[in-house]
Amino acid sequence: MQIENFIGGEFIAPLKKNYLENLNPATGKITSKIPSSTKEDVEMAVKAAQNALPNWSQLSIDERIIWLRKIANALESRKEDVAALESMDTGKPISLAKRVDAARSVSNFEFFAEHAENLIELNYKMSDATNYVTRKPVGVVGLITPWNLPLYLLTWKIAPALVMGNTIVAKPSEMTPLTANLLCEILTSIEFPEGVINIVHGLGPSAGQSILEHPNIKAISFTGGTATGKIVAQTAAPMFKKLSLELGGKNATIILDDADLPNAAKGAARAAFTNSGQVCLCGSRILVADNIYDEFVTLLINEVESMTIGNPSDENTDIGSVISSEHMEKVLSYIELAKQEGGKISVGGSKLTLPPPNADGAFIEPTLIEGLAIDSRCATEEIFGPVASIHRFITDDEAIEMANITEYGLAGSVWTSNPTRGKSVAERIDSGILWVNTWLHRDLRTPFGGVKSSGVGREGGDWSLNFFSELSNICVKEE
């Protein structure tokens, strides 16, 4: 299969005719060739987006909401294809791709349609005047997304950008381009207005960087690693572009001494190993109260040992491959480092060789490590794989201090039979998203984003609609 860029409503080959190979990480086989786009391709996409802007931005919000619902319906009818392509591109289990990736890609459009429908415009009355807060689209916006939740995260940005009247130049990860391409096929099938959504495939330093640098792209919404986020900020901030940065994490799962331990063990295992630990919100540092430590860790190990690792296409598989053999080597090198840092592998710890068709796949056993210092590299750096460390604490204050020790501040969860205690512990953790007795339980109206090196800004609900709008205040003096 060879895919092309989607510019001005057409599938177009990259101008320099260079292509990259795209692999299925669970088999090691090449599945497709994708454009290795350059500045010139981005230029063409920006022109198409600029041409489409007047008509799209002049539609009423109700007309744009109708388009969002049309996309949602068309995507819904291709959900099985979305899941199959996502599983093939990422190596994630097909059941997870159906339940999470495909479902959320549809619900992102449904949610933002409904949320925009209920948007209340603000007026502030003074004794002698009224302030009217008005919205305009930002213009052409640039969206850059990672490989772990490909269409889920791309549509999480596309839907609010569209409904607020912007036109789009987007670059999905070069590792996972296939569902973005499917979205373009769907847009064609519903005769979506040409040039409103443009997709340019390729590498970060060329295609991605050209999006960041383009003077006619007025806002950048980026989700990816913290190191890349710094480059994004360095490039876009001096150009005064609006910026949203959703970056890495090293999140704590805190098991308090009064937790329902079997339930907490299930939750902690899910938080650590969903998508092979390749979710920015994954709980990769498990902090456990000293007096329940042994009992909890036994339950946790049982949970991990009951996970089925295997062919992602098998409906019973819980854990598939990681994203690439290079990433597998990076994760394995962290496991080696953990041993040098004094860690003891409690479960897992190795590369896994599966029978054909997965013999060349990038599989790693879900791995738990005990005995690491809380400030060791393995306990503080983002590994982004199926590896979690377990640490003891005595008091709640100590747990909070341990949770806050990293440079990151994205998410975390607290497990306790006392929700009030859980909430007050959560309030003292320096992170943007905290859960008590649950994990990844999402209401799309709520603010989503990190503090410290985990990002700048918030997405979700009104936060996304505000990011993709320019707000003006018009103060009208009354007689």
What are the DSSP calls for 317-330, one per residue?
Answer: -SB---S-HHHHHH
Nearer to ligand NAD, 67 or 448 (CB): 448
* Lookup result for tokens 């997709």: 199
The residues, ordered by sequence, that sit 6+ positions from 245 with a Cβ below 8 Å of its Cβ are 222, 229, 232, 233, 455, 456, 457
In the complex with ligand NAD, the residue whose CB is nearer, 20 or 436, is 20
The shares of helix, strand and coil residues in the chain, as percent rounded to the nearest 5, are 40, 25, 35
Q: Which CB, 244 or 346, lies closer to ligand NAD?
A: 244
Residue 256 near residue 290, CB atoms below 8 Å: no
Closest CA to 158 of 221, 248, 83, 245: 221
Contact criterion met (CB below 8 Å) for 93 and 83: no
Residue 355 C-beta: closest distance to ligand NAD, Å: 29
Nearer to ligand NAD, 235 or 417 (CB): 235
Q: Please report how close the Cβ of residue 165 comes to ligand NAD at its closest, in angstroms.
A: 24
Work out how close the CB of 278 gets to ligand NAD at its nearest, in angstroms, rounded to a whole number: 7
Residues that bind ligand NAD (CB under 6 A): 144-148, 153, 171, 173-174, 203-205, 208-209, 212, 223-225, 228, 231-232, 246-249, 280, 382, 384, 410, 450, 455
Residue bearing tokens 């959560």: 426
Q: CA 158 to CA 143: how far, in whole Å?
A: 8
Please say which residue, 210 or 376, places its beta carbon nearer to ligand NAD: 210
Taking the C-alpha atoms of residue 154 and residue 83, their distance in angstroms, rounded to an integer, is 15
Residue (of 195, 197, 227, 230) closest to 212 by Cα position = 230
Helices and strands counted in the chain (H then E): 16, 24
Shortest Å, Cβ 60 to ligand NAD: 31
Using CA atoms, how far apart are residues 169 and 426, in angstroms rounded to an integer? 38
CB of 459 to ligand NAD, least distance (A): 8
Nearest distance from C-beta of residue 250 to ligand NAD, angstroms: 9
Q: Which residue has the tokens 């213009």?
A: 139
451 Cβ neighbours under 8 A, 6+ residues apart: 409, 410, 430, 431, 432
Find where tokens 């996304």 sit.
464
Q: Which is nearer to ligand NAD, 169 or 232 (CB)?
A: 232
Nearer to ligand NAD, 274 or 416 (CB): 274
> Per the residue annotation, which of 246, 303, 370, 382 is the catalytic one?
246
Contact between 35 and 13 (Cβ < 8 Å): yes
User: Whole-number minimum distance, CB 153 to ligand NAD, in Å?
Assistant: 6
Please identify which of the residues 86, 184, 280, 459 carries the catalytic annotation: 280
In the bound complex, what is the minimum distance in angstroms from residue 158's beta carbon to ligand NAD?
Answer: 14
Bridge partners, 409 (sequence order): 451
Of the candidates 75, 67, 79, the residue with the CA atom closest to the CA atom of residue 192: 67
Q: Give backbone dihedrals phi and psi of 85, rounded to 5 degrees, phi first.
A: -70, -40
The residue with its CB nearest to ligand NAD is 204
Q: How is residue 98 annotated by DSSP?
A: I
Q: Is 246 a catalytic residue?
A: yes
Type of residue numbered 235: T
- In DSSP terms, 171 is beta-bridged to 144
CB of 205 to ligand NAD, least distance (A): 5
Helix axes 261-273, 293-305, angle to 10 degrees: 50
The H-assigned helical ranges of 165-289 are 178-189, 209-213, 226-236, 261-273
Which CB atom, from 246 or from 318, has the smaller least distance to ligand NAD?
A: 246
- The answer to whether the CB of 85 falls within 8 A of the CB of 178 is yes
Q: From 388, 424, 393, 161, select the one nearest 289 (Cα to Cα).
A: 393
C-alpha separations of 284 from 265, 270, 346 in Å: 13, 11, 14
* Cβ proximity to ligand NAD, 65 vs 322, nearer residue: 322
Q: Which residues are catalytic?
A: 246, 280
